[in-house]
Chain A
Amino acid sequence: MTCKKFRDYLKGQLAPDAMRVHVENCDICRKAYRADQKILLASGALNQGLEIPDLWPSVQKSLRNEQPVILKFKGPKWLLWAAAAAILILTSIWLVNPSRKATPSGKILSRHALEQVIEAEEKYQKAIQTLEELAPDQLEKTPEPLAQLYRNKLSLIDRQIENCKTALAGNPANSHIRNYLMAALQDKQKTLEELLKPNG
């Protein structure tokens, strides 16, 4: 049992100084006030010197177990580009190989389909031409070695386009070569757009 003054003090409606004056004259409130002070003092000390176990290794392990494994190439970037170039060159050699013959079974485009494909290729070429006009300025602004990487990539793609065109000269309706050419044109457009992006 306490008087109203102690309840007011607990509610923050009576200042601590006023409470201290009151308890000098009130035995009931003095006991409760001392108890409250002891509780607050002991509570404040509860977490001091607390030994915190290091749970980070467990947290990290759980997070790693959740994440998918992403294989990262750890070698030098030029090695990656060299591998890509080798694949492209080998693909091109295969394409222009005169001993290769287009098999008639469904791998030759019909006249109508060929016209449509050529129309689509011309659209890509036009878009690429526009982008190519802006590329040199952007490459100058792009820091090395990123600029060199872009030049190398564009050079590889150009060689692929040339090889496809050479192969198509003797075999214009070959759908495989047309697919390769379309893929190369799309890749070139995408690369140029990426180069010319405001933050890229």
Chain B
Amino acid sequence: MIPEPGKELIQNCQKRDMESFRMLYRHYEKFVFGFCLRMLNNQQDTEDAVQTVFLNLYHGIVNFKFNSRFTTYLMSITRNVCFDMLRQQKRRGEAPDLTEPVSREGTDYDHDLLQAISNLPSRTRECFILFAVEQYPQAEIAELLQIKIGTVKALIFQARQKLIYWLNEA
């Protein structure tokens, strides 16, 4: 799990200190990139999304009032950018459409898994990514996504059932 940045760092970023913003970028770049990559399953879209996330963060950070965790605030920006990007992918006809189990003979398991994850509905996908890829506890996921823990559990349950089916294991 990613630690929270210091309050002073955030305040310096709010004053438009570029060096502080660079430090904030370095703090979160791996998390944001990893999350976007698993959501979008496309390298170019991920790079575009990451840049958009941090540009939006730079512009919006003055509105952060320290009444929630900063990671939660960044998460909402990241999710919105990913959802926009997913809509663009759908318009381009790149939305995955996996209704049958993936053929298992001679295929790379990780590739199959990524394809299966990208076929999950977006809300289910983001919960599964945070749970299984980023390994956040479910309570933490509920806070990050600002949803009830019951909803998180239900979405992760759905994700695991679907993945088991699509990967033709059961």
Size of A's binding interface in residues, CB under 8 A: 30
B30 pairs with A52, CB closer than 8 A: yes
Residues from chain A with a CB closer than 8 A to the CB of B161 are 10
- Given A39-B160, A50-B34: A44 and B55 interface contact (C-beta under 8 Å): no
Majority SS at the chain A contact face: helix
Contact call A39/B163, Cβ cutoff below 8 A: yes
CA A59 – CA B113 in complex, angstroms? Answer: 31
Confirm or deny: A83 has a beta carbon within 8 angstroms of a beta carbon on chain B: no
Known: A1-B170, A35-B164, A59-B55. A43 touches B50 (CB 8 A): no
Closest CB-CB distance, B31 to chain A, in whole Å?
9
The reply to whether B110 and A42 form a contact with Cβ atoms under 8 Å apart is yes
Q: Which of B21, B133, B164 contacts A36 (CB 8 A)?
A: B164
Q: State in angstroms the CA–CA spacing of A34 and B160 once bound together.
A: 12
Q: Are B47 and A55 in contact (CB under 8 A)?
A: yes
Interface-central residue, A12, A34, A53, A59, by most chain B CB under 10 Å: A59
Name the CB-closest residue of A to B109. A42
Beta-carbon contact of B25 and A59 below 8 Å:
yes
Question: Which of chain B's residues has its CB closest to A40's CB?
Answer: B132
Known A39-B164, A44-B135: A2·B170 in contact at CB below 8 Å: yes
Docked complex Cα distance between A34 and B170 (Å): 10
Q: Answer yes or no: B40 CB below 8 A from chain A CBs.
A: no
Also in contact, A47 and B34, with CB within 8 A (given A11-B157, A39-B160, A55-B29): yes
Whether, in the assembled complex, A108 has its beta carbon less than 8 Å from a beta carbon of chain B, the answer is no
- Distance in angstroms between the alpha carbons of A130 and B128 in the assembled complex: 69
Say yes or no: B170 contacts A31, CB within 8 Å: yes
Query: In this complex, what residue of A is CB-closest to B166?
Result: A39
A46 and B170: CB pair below 8 A? no
B80-114 contacts to A (CB < 8 Å): 109-110, 113-114
Q: Which of A30-84 contact B (CB under 8 A)?
A: 31-32, 34-36, 38-40, 42-44, 46-47, 50, 52-53, 55-56, 58-60, 62-63
Question: Inside 8 A of A47's CB, which chain B residues have their CB?
Answer: 34, 37-38, 133-134
Tell me whether B147 is interfacial, beta carbon within 8 Å: no
Contact across chains for B157 and A10 when beta carbons are under 8 A apart: yes
Q: Are B38 and A46 in contact (CB under 8 A)?
A: yes
Question: Which of chain A's residues has its CB closest to B26's CB?
Answer: A56
Output the nearest chain B residue to A50 by Cβ-Cβ distance. B34
Report the minimum CB–CB distance from A91 to chain B (whole Å).
Answer: 36
Q: Which residues of B contact A43 (CB under 8 A)?
A: 113, 117, 128, 132-133
Residues of A within 8 A of B114 (CB): 46
Contact B157 A32 (CB under 8 A): no
B22 and A56 contact, CB distance less than 8 A: yes
Q: A32-B164, A39-B160, A63-B21 are in contact. List 14 more A-B contacts (CB 8 A).
A: A1-B170, A12-B138, A31-B170, A32-B169, A34-B169, A35-B164, A39-B113, A43-B128, A43-B133, A47-B37, A47-B38, A56-B29, A59-B51, A63-B55
Q: Top 3 closest A-B pairs, CB basis?
A: A35-B169, A43-B132, A32-B170
